[in-house]
Amino acid sequence: MIVGQSYGAFTATLAAGQLPVRLLVLLAGMIPAPGESPGEWWTGTGYRQAAEQQAKLDGGKTGHDDPLISFYNGIPRPLAEEALRRGGRGESTAVWNTPWPLDAWPEAPTRFIRCQDDQFFPAAFMRRLAWQRLGIVPDEVPGCHCAALSNPKELGDLLVGYLTD
């Protein structure tokens, strides 16, 4: 099983295209389309409009500039601060502008998990994107955008369940 979380979906899908994989799982993942770069994804999916619309409904929490609100809501502050401290990617901007190179989705069976308390990717947006780009209805787990930190047991149980199905 390969799991790609958020921006990591771009990399996870490439790995799934090269390796024998039983299952590809995207966790609150940015679902790439052929030829689309991570930088183009935001416009191509309509993220900004979806985030602005949801922010009007939730008092500005969705897409907030403060990562403690948008990514780490529901996580104890010391753990969230430690995640922030360790989270620097130091990644080249070339990756941001590099088109996703696959011509089609990898042949691996794919599941998509939406985080129920995600204040970065709006629920309706992620459901629409999973359906449009993958033809699947997302499974859902409680937790923020970083569900592995906010609800690790529930996420782990779902992932293990995928392997035993």
Q: Which CATH number is 2-164's, of 3.40.630.190, 3.40.50.300, 3.40.50.150, 3.40.50.1820?
A: 3.40.50.1820
Residue 88, pLDDT score: 65
Say how far apart CA 56 and CA 125 lie, in whole Å. Answer: 15
The SS3 call for residue 114 is: strand
- 95 pLDDT tier (thresholds 50, 70, 90): confident
Mean pLDDT of 93-106: 91
The SS3 call for residue 111 is: strand
100: buried, middle or exposed (CB in 10 Å: 19+, 13-18, 0-12)?
buried
* CB 110, CB 25: distance < 8 Å: yes
Q: Where are the domains of the chain?
A: 2-164
